[in-house]
């Protein structure tokens, strides 16, 4: 559960709670990857033209790892973009 569950505005808290209940697990499992692969092929496989990507996953420490990696890579002269999803603390960050 997110820290949004305790949002001070009850209407916002209810709507956020509703958003968190929307799961697409059944749809994703039923479809598999083939529609996405077909779409990527139709688009010319744009993902193969991306610069190197670092994916940080796990239970704890992702924010710190991302901050350290970003600082080190920028200090080394690399252009860096960090994207966190769905969010770290609140829904609207």
Burial 56-70 (b: 16+ CB within 10 A, else e): eeeeeeeeeebeeee
What tens digit of pLDDT does each residue of 44-93 get? 999 999 888 888 888 788 889 999 999 999 999 999 998 877 666 666 65
What confidence score (pLDDT) does residue 91 get?
63
87 and 93 in contact (C-beta within 8 Å)? yes
What tens digit of pLDDT does each residue of 21-37 get? 876 655 555 667 888 89
Domain ranges of the chain: 1-49, 51-93
> Which strand (E) or helix (H) includes residue 36?
helix 34-42
| Structure token digits, residue 65 | 């790892």
**pTM check: above 0.85:** no
């Amino acid at each position: 559960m997110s820290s949004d569950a305790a949002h001070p505005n009850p209407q916002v808290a209810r709507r956020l709670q509703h958003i968190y209940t929307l799961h697409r697990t059944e749809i994703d499992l039923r479809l598999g990857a083939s529609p996405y692969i077909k779409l990527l092929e139709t688009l010319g496989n744009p993902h193969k033209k991306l610069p190197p990507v670092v994916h940080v996953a796990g239970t704890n420490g992702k924010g710190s790892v991302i901050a350290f990696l970003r600082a080190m890579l920028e200090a080394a002269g690399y252009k860096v973009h960090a994207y966190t999803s769905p969010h770290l603390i609140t829904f609207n960050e």
